Each structure stands twice: as C-alpha cells, then as structure tokens.
Chain A
Amino acid sequence: MKDQLDNLARSAAAGRLSRREFLGRAAALGITVTAANGLLVSAGHAQTPKRGGHLKLGLEGGSGTDSLDPAKYLSQVLFCVGRNWGDTLIESHPETGEASPALAESWSASDDAKVWTFQIRNNVEFHDGKKLTVEDCVATLKRHSDEKSESGALGVLKSISDVKADGGNLVVSLSEGNADLPLLLSDYHLIVQPNGGYDDPTATIGTGPYKMTGWEAGVRATFERNENDWRDDRGFVDSIEIIVINDATARVAALSSGQVHFINRVDPKTVDLLKRGPINILNTSGRGHYVFIMHCNTAPFDNNDLRLALKYAMDREAMVSTILRGYGKVGNDFPINETYALFPEGIEQRSYDPDKAKFHFKKSGHDGSVLLRTSDVAFPGAVDAAQLYQQSASKAGIEIEIRREPGDGYWSNVWNVQPFSTSYWGGRPTQDQMYTTAYYSKADWNDTRFLRPDFDKLLLEARAELDEQKRKDMYREMATMVRDEGGVILPMFNDFVNASTKAVQGYVNDIGNDMSNGYVATRVWLES
C-alpha cells in the first residue's frame, strides 16, 4: 500500500491527479485527509517547473488540407496548435470546469443573462508588438458569428445579436438569456486575433505563450517561446515541435524510441505494452460516451418498462473493464458526468440487476427478442460490447438479437434512423449544450426521440438562470428524467488516454478536453 500511496502522491504532484482526486483515492486506501495532504506537500517539493528544452509531440488528427484559420480548426492537431499561439477570452478551470479568466479578467451579466460585460486585460501584446484592444475582441466575435461566418463555433454563438466595445469593456447582447455564455467563449475556435482576423485569418498572430515558426499542413508545426507573454505560469520549454502521426502504431513506436516526448490517442489495447517501458500513461476523465440508443416513440421501445428492463440488463462494470480496459468510468444513463460544471451529485448509480430487469421485462408485456443494430464504426469495440450486452441480458431472460451493419453509411442509414442501435457522443462544453444537441425535442440529433415538453421547458429555464444552486437543481431534475424515462442506455464514459516519457513533468489533468484541454505544450516542462 505504501507504494500505491507514493505513486498516487507523485501523480498528484505531477498534476496527473487533481488534488480532489488524490484525496479521494487516498481515503479509499484508508488514509486520513490530513495525512494525505502531508504526503502531497512532500512530493510537491521536487516539482518546481524548469525552463528550457525542445518539446516534441507526436499527435493524431492532422491532415494535408488543414487551414490555419482558427474558424476552421477541426481536429486534434489544430486544437493544440491554436492553444499554443492564441488565447481565448475565457478558459475553463482544469479541475472544476467553471469559467475562469483569460484575456477577459472579469465579467458580469444582466439579470436576465441577456447582456454580458467583459473587462479586457490592458497589458497584453500580440506577437507583432501591437497592443490588444477591445476592438480586436469585438471583431473576433463578429467574424465567428456574422452572417457570412464559416466558423465551427457558429453553433455556440448563434444567439449573439450584438457585440460592441464600451470603453475598455466588451459588451455582448444575446437574443435569449444564456448563463453559460462565458464558458461558451472558451471554445477553441474563438482565438482573439488582431482586427478579429478579418485581415489575414491564417497569420497566427496571437497573444499565446508561443509564436509559430514553421508550418506544413499535415506534417509539422514548430514554435518558439513568446518572451513577451502576459503570464508566467505557461510556456516553460524554449521551443515546441508538433509532428503529425496519424497511425496509432507509429505513434507508440515514436514514443518508445524516444523520438517524441508525448503522444495522444493511445489505444487502450496497447496501454499495457507501453507501461513496460519508461513511460507515463496520462489518462483524464472525458465527456465522450458510448451509448445504446432506443427511440422512445417507436414500438416496442415506447414502453418505459421495456426501456428500464434493458437499462438494468446492462453490466456497466464489465463494459468498462472489457471494452475500455479500465480507461473509463461507468455511466448512469444520462449524458453528464462530474467533468461538467454544475454536475448534479447524489443521483443513485444504476447497476446490473437481472432481477429488476426480469421484473420490468415481464411488466412491459413484450414477447420475443429485441433487435440491436451495431457496427465497429459506432465506437471502438462496439460489436464486442453488443455481444457482452447480449450475454448479460440473457441472464435476465431477455433475448437480444444482434445485427451487424456495414460501417460505410452507418451514420446515415442506421444511427438516428433505426429504433435500437449503438452510437457515440463526444462531449460538449456545457450541460446545456449537450442536452440541447441531443435531448431537446426539436433537435435534429435527438437520437432517442425524447419528446418531452416538460423537459424542454426546464432546459430553456435553466439556460437563463443565473442562480447556480437553482440551476443545479434543474439539471438534477433533467438528469433524473433522462435516466429514468429516456431512451439512452449509457454504460460508460471513455477516458482520454495520452502517454509521455518520464522527462515530461507538470502535466495537468484538465477535465475540459483531451491533451490537458489542448494546453499540454504550454503547461509541461522537461526534466533532464
């Protein structure tokens, strides 16, 4: 147990575990909070950031067609590139997921959450030496939200009706109240550029901790430290090199041979092999989740007892240990986990219960088997997961028939078309966004046909509610509705699994997104 504790303390000190997580796990080993805190402090002493060195990242998710215009950023490589050279107005807090200051140092909202005022820092310079002005911020938001916008962030900004400068402040008016606006502005597309990027959107002139020195789309990006950065807790290494490695085996080989310091998207199947070498596995809880979806308005799934029976027949622990090899967390049949701000705690965890499944199945009056459609493109291991589910359900007397569909066309012919299928959801920045995308009755992607006027009403009310406690209560009510009456069986949330050499220190387990929310290169340092 001593070894386990030491490991935990070192992970916590290196930032791979949040303080809260460390204390929780230490408590599980029978250590008091005071003793655990002491351990944390002693391990932390060795952890002062070192400056210098050349950091190499081997990343999946780059393409020869990538554009440097932040409005068009799509995959992992550009996500990380943008975080290096640019800043957003707001960031999300790595541990709590709440909005925290970046280029905007503070903000306030009108009572109906329709008009927001942001104070912009006045000591920030762009890489070309020009001072950051409120007008640059106004232009940035306009470029991403105006009627000609081709931005990937247009969806989160569509309720913006007006953006203007007011003295040193940025004022954003919305057509409908939205208490989440600050968090939405942390979207990685919304990098503040001189004149909003209207002049040259691909210039990569920003306020970030690194300046871009080289770029070949789909091949490589290089950076050097911005010595004029406005903060001192970012940018420890002298220079960064991002190499695009889309092949999973190639990434592992590059890391094992020491040619790169860090790789993303490690396949859980190969994690154990990697662990044999001098490698740190960096896994962070994510918001992405693997789902089995039923259409609530289509027979036989229009019967809530049948839906409940199928939910109780799911062995979640087995799913996490088999399909995710332990790199994930069990789900509770609603699409939110503790990585979201305002997560509703205290909802009872649903677990595998063949008796309850049998009871509800009988009550539903359904006779015969249930047809589940799946394909390996739904999520990695989806066909295996379906078979595992078939086994656990058969113990409850429910027969599940599996139909394996072709991967090509799965997303257009099966998902959101057939009444019972497997699927995957990536996370969204806020609970509101997640529910609005997939559970609002008018949403195109309401893939469980969850049509509930009372849920819709609650969703819209919660969106404009500024009182956090009231809002949290509303989100609890919504989560309970989806969990107990919805059409989603959500057995697991998958972790983001990255890996680094031992030289990489200071990795922050940011719950916001993969790769320390894209900030990995700006947050870590290299020990020799």
Chain B
Amino acid sequence: MAKDQREASTLDASGGTALLEDAGSGTPQDLPPVSPVRASGGRFGAVAGFHSNHPLAALILQRIALSVGLLFAVSLLIFLGVEALPGDFAQTYLGQSATPQAVANIRADLGLDRPAPTRYVEWLGGVLQGDFGNSWASGQSVTSQIAGRLGNTLFLAFFAAVISVPLAVGLGMLAVLYRDKAPDRLINIFSLAAVSLPEFFVGYLLILFFGVQLGWVSYPSTVFSGMPFADRLQAVALPVATLVLVVLAHMMRMTRAAILNVMSSAYIETAELKGLNAFRIIARHAAPNVLAPIITVVALNLAYLVVGVVVVEVVFVYPGMGQYMVDAVTVRDMPVVQACGLIFATVYIVLNMIADILGILANPRLRHPR
C-alpha cells in the first residue's frame, strides 16, 4: 500500500518539477517581444509586474491560494468517502451489541439523522473558526487528541530524516565517484534490496534479530506522554532503522542519476582538465547544479515519512497518526478522519512548496530574473 502511495508521489514529483521548469522557461528572453498581459496595463499589468519582479513571492502566494482550494477539495472527498462506506458511526461503534434504540439514541445525540450536506457545512463552519470538534467515539476534543499522536509521528519522522537524508545524498555522491566500480555496485545492490523488501518484512527481521534474539533494543516501540527522552530514543531505534532502509534507495538513486546527468557537461570537463580532484568536482561543481531534483525527491520522502508509515506503526506498535486515522475510519469517526486527512494533505502541500522554493533559491537564473 505504502509502496503504491510512493509511486503515486513520484508522479507528483514530476508534476512539481514540470512546474519548476515552467517557471524557468518564463525568463524574459523566451517571452514574445510584447507581452499581451503587460500591454493591457492597469491592474493586470501590476499583477504581472509583481509576478516578474518577485517570482518567489508570487509563487508562494499562488501556492497558498491553491492549497486552500485543495484542502477544501480533500475534506469534501474524505467526507464523501466515509459516507460511502457501509454502516454509519452508530452501527459500527455498537457492533454486535447494537440495539435499534441505542443506535437511534447515538444518531440523535450526534445529529447523524440530519442530511449529509447539512452535516458537512456545519463541520466546515466549525473548522473555519478553528474548531475541529469532538471525536464522536471518545467525546474528547480532536485537537488535543491529535496533538500527542502528531508529536509522535513527527518525532519518528525527524530522526528517520536526520539519518536518511545525509546518508542518501552522501552515498549517491560516493556512487558517482566510483561509478561502475565495486563500491557503486555494492551501494546499489544494498539499497535496492532494502527497498524491494516490503517494509513490514524488514521490520519483522529487525525485531527478530535485535529485539528478540539479541535483546539490544526494547520492543514493542510504544511511547507515551511522560516517557523519559532516552527511553523514547531507544524505543524508536528499530522503526527509524526500518524507515531509513525503506526511503534510502529512492533518494540515493535520484542523487546519483541527477549528478551523473551533468557529469558530461562542458564545465565539468573543464574542472577535470584543471586537475581538480574527483570528489571536489562532484561536491562543489556538479551537486549544486542538480539541487532542485534532489530537493524534490527528498521532500517527497519526508512527506512519506509523515503520512505513509502506518504499516511500520502497526508492526512496531508505535502510536502515530497513521494508526489513529485507521482506527477512526474503522468506526467512521468523521471529525477525527477529517482532521487527520487535512493534516496529512497540509504536510504534503507544504513540503512540496518548500521544495519548489528551495529549487528556485538554488537556481541563480530564477533567483535573479533579468
């Protein structure tokens, strides 16, 4: 499942890159001599002027506007999706002990007996005022319940990212340095093997060796509020290792391919002729010119670390957002599902936006438009 998600996100990546390229090709020399927008003057002219003078600010504003629309669409899709599932909250929550009267009482209590559009508009009204409502199942406020879970998810994602990103980029550069030689092949085989195994299987293997047989780390990885920081670190060791193995190959191979792409450029040959050593060429001259695609793929993997790790959470018994959302979907707890869905969508959107902005900053031609 998670794999598919990442395949899908790769598609997103190309979309993101395409947008970037659009921004790149929008440099003045490619424009027709007299831009119709500019010629029309007035307000539109001002907008276009702002657009070309501050491409970065324009992009951010455009993205934020787009994000709001996107989040709105996401919430509508989630609502329709949960509505389409068989059985409503009252039925699924009571399960086998459901009596018609108890079901009716719960429906009346939560207002589930009203038409769907009314319920959606009411929920949306609350959210626009910053009120995500209460969980139907537990009666607690969604915000306070999600806070702890989101913290756990970010904690895990942070450590997985801190280890995997430098490792992937470093190994990618190393692979270029020794391309088609033994170290390159070794790195490739290792990372491909790691990414080919399903993540739950990698997880079980790590548990078997390091948790059960060697007993080096504690298992299950349950964390709870008030847990000492050192214990927490130990608890996430195995899930972090699993996630690193899962995301490493994607980023590493992208780094390698992107750098190899520019290695045949004239300026690299010049650097070689100048007699610079190979690693210096890669690190100082090749890598900075391919930052944009690397940043994009890193951002996608970071997003995956936040939103796509439910399988790892289940295997390691780690109380993150993914499990929480699955629990909520199981009983059709709409306010919780909505809040989780919106947070996940926001993470995706924000990380992609950051990737695009960094991509522009990394490209002098886009940073200083003529």
Contacts and interface: CB of A to CB of B under 8 A. Distances in A.
A499 to B, nearest CB: 15
B166 to A, nearest CB: 30
A64 B323 contact: yes
Nearest to A252: B212
Contacts of A214: 224, 226
Contact of B225 (A64, A67, A68, A216): A216
Interface of B: 86, 93-99, 101-102, 105-106, 109, 135-139, 145, 148-149, 204, 207-208, 211-212, 215, 218-220, 222, 224-226, 314-317, 319, 323-324, 327-328, 330-331, 333, 336
A199 to B, nearest CB: 14
A384 interface: no
A453 interface: no
Contacts, number: 123
B138 A250 contact: no
Nearest to A253: B207
Nearest to A425: B96
B138 A65 contact: yes
Interface in A216-249: 216-220, 243-247, 249
A67 B336 CA distance: 14
B101 to A, nearest CB: 6
A158 interface: yes
17 contacts: A58-B220, A64-B149, A65-B328, A65-B333, A66-B137, A67-B137, A74-B94, A147-B105, A202-B139, A218-B319, A246-B317, A247-B315, A249-B204, A253-B211, A253-B212, A253-B219, A426-B96
Contacts of B109: 148, 150
Contacts of B315: 247, 249-250
B2 to A, nearest CB: 15
Contacts of A63: 137, 327, 330-331
Nearest to A244: B317
Given A74-B95, A152-B94, A245 B317 contact: yes
Interface in A145-170: 147-155, 158
Interface of chain A, helix or strand or loop or mixed?
Answer: loop
A412 B220 CA distance: 36
A127 B94 CA distance: 28
Q: Which of A63, A64, A151 has the most CB of B within 10 A?
A: A64
B216 to A, nearest CB: 11
Given A216-B225, A259-B218, A150 B106 contact: yes
Interface string A335-367: 000000000000000000000000000000000
B237 to A, nearest CB: 14
A257 B218 CA distance: 9
A72 B110 CA distance: 15
Contacts of B323: 64, 218
A216 B146 CA distance: 12
Contacts of A412: 86
Contacts of B211: 253, 257
Contacts of A148: 105, 109
A254 B219 contact: yes
Contacts of A64: 145, 149, 319, 323-324, 327-328, 336
B367 to A, nearest CB: 45
A496 B2 CA distance: 33
Given A253-B220, A257-B212, 11 more contacts: A64-B323, A64-B324, A65-B135, A148-B105, A149-B101, A214-B224, A219-B319, A244-B222, A246-B314, A250-B314, A253-B207
A247 B215 contact: no
Contacts of A67: 137-139
A480 interface: no
A245 B220 contact: yes
Contact of A216 (B99, B106, B148): B148
Nearest to A158: B99
Nearest to A411: B86
Given A219-B222, A243-B317, A246-B314, A253 B139 contact: no
